[in-house]
Chain A
């Protein structure tokens, strides 16, 4: 029983039961063939659906939202004046959120260098403020540690001053995972479009199937349209799956207009399919296609704000970074998902995506090689 049901499920999944042959146009057949080839290839399923989910989970664990850890501050032992050292240690140890250890000078330096200690307090009795700080100004933990130590020592010097009340609050959409998921969505659309179209077309050419199709009365527009159609459907399946998992695992949600979100996803999917078609339009070997695809994808993975904000790159590069289609898509996705934006956030992303998409389509159709 169970076996029979599983077999039925499997054949539905493999689109075997969909015997629509007599009713379907060439466009329908070509599109269905793309679906069938895709869902029957377990490796492709993993790379498109499994891999992004694993990546998201791993990154989310690495960057999981814990409160900022307590700073570790070392007090350097002054052998000539152990009393001053102990006084400093006691004052620091009283402050909440500070871990204090006492070590000799060499150990303190080593611990600071290897990030075991965030900052070092050096007693200087009778000189200046009576102590000084060693810290690394390029490391935010080190700066935080210095500030925390400084504040604790100031408070100890003025015990009568009232301490302001503090309240921790969480703003929705402010976690790293909230930043990351739209970036991964964008990355997945890019990879899916480029590989799903570019590599697939090159593969059909290498197998001489394009030439074989050309030898039939098949309309070329039907073929190209079927590639785009199947890609568009895959795009929405991709996004729905990633969003569902992200929702249950990390409480991710689309805070803005869902229609604007869908429009953005469609625009992204279509644009990257166009870029894929351009790359696949002439490649005669799979190696050429893979090389071109990676050459286009890798810079965008780095520059377009998938894992960290694209605005971190120097101003001189911004004109380039901002012109990339993935940057535009990621900005738009974050605005709609995290900032709750609607159509008003879309003109710029849609313009950039539209330009890339239209241009690559037009060129791809002109230079497309059938054999």
Chain B
């Protein structure tokens, strides 16, 4: 079966002094019918990669095939079968929701009626409102409606939920799931890890213009060695600490990472690791100010792979 997207050795260097290597040898394959996530911190090359796949930007080198076609040979055919929601598009304030969707519908030879597209994103009540009267979440859903109205086989959403409130995010997730249920392919970029875990069948973690990890969220989390994470906070007033050798020697603990007064452990079985950890702390004289366990997230995957957090604020 022809993959929805195939990318080989993609390189994009922006001319500047010194040249900016936004993408440096990136490979991807997205199957038909899956929801695929591109994750990574800002500036990792996600948007550049996406825009090259979308045919909005020329690659410096490498191969890109979308729906089995290259942009050079099949631009017109690809355009009719993909839908795109870009970051930061400001739709015309003085048009109504329906007028905006109808305008985009007129570009496609076939597709949904404007009202169907509006219903899919749940904006029926706002159909006659001017765009300027919409909230941020409603505007984002309208942007998705303009991407859906051509009934695309392949839908691209670039950071669709950035800056939205939790309710708006969930509404957009429903739109994406519904699209997947129809057997359509969705490619989404995000830096919200929970979003990727819930929505995506597979994710590619991108850093410095390369894919550093690829697989289903569960696989990636398992790969960092354990589905559970123990966060331990020392009392900063005391100096006694456990060494990292001591920590890794604890039962089922696979890795440890120290950041200031906090130690983060990955563990296969926290009910065995925790008593041993407490015993070791008591024996060493280390005072514990806080202790939590949680399931590992893609955030932990990223931190384990790069030693950095995805977002500076998290």
Contact = CB atoms under 8 A, between A and B. Distances in A.
Contacts of B55: 215
Contacts of B89: 207-209, 211-212
A118 B56 CA distance: 72
Contacts of B80: 217
Given A21-B114, A33-B99, A208-B86, A214 B106 contact: no
The B interface, classified by DSSP as helix, strand, loop or mixed, is: loop
A216 B108 contact: yes
Nearest to A208: B89
Chain A interface size, under 10 / 10 to 19 / 20 to 34 / 35 or more:
20 to 34
B104 A217 contact: no
Contacts of B166: none
A29 interface: yes
Contacts of A215: 54-56, 79, 84, 86
Contact of A33 (B56, B92, B114): B92
B56 A371 contact: yes
Contacts of B146: 212
Interface centre among A213, A217, A371 (most CB of B within 10 A): A217
Contact of A41 (B54, B94, B106): B94
A285 interface: no
A217 B103 contact: no
Contact of B79 (A30, A40, A207, A216): A216
Interface residues of B, number: 30
Nearest to B103: A29
Contacts, number: 72
A209 B79 contact: no
Nearest to B80: A217
Contacts of B94: 36-37, 40-41
Interface string B146-182: 1000100000000000000000000000000000000
A217 B108 contact: yes
B218 interface: no
A10 interface: no
B113 to A, nearest CB: 8
Given A36-B94, A40-B94, A371-B56, A217 B107 contact: yes
B150 A216 contact: yes
Interface string A3-29: 000000000000010000100111011
Contacts of A37: 92, 94-95
A209 B91 contact: yes
A98 B309 CA distance: 92
B87 to A, nearest CB: 8
Contacts of B76: 217
B125 interface: no
B308 interface: no
A33 B103 contact: yes
Contacts of B106: 21, 24-26, 28-30
A172 to B, nearest CB: 44
A29 B114 CA distance: 13
A16 B150 CA distance: 23
Given A36-B99, A207-B92, 19 more contacts: A30-B103, A33-B92, A36-B94, A36-B95, A37-B92, A37-B94, A207-B90, A209-B89, A209-B90, A209-B91, A209-B92, A212-B89, A215-B56, A216-B107, A216-B150, A217-B79, A217-B107, A217-B109, A371-B56
Interface of B: 54-56, 76, 79-80, 84, 86, 88-92, 94-96, 99, 102-109, 114, 128, 130, 146, 150
Shortest Cβ-Cβ A-B pairs, 10 listed: A207-B90, A29-B106, A217-B79, A40-B94, A218-B107, A216-B107, A215-B84, A26-B106, A212-B89, A21-B102
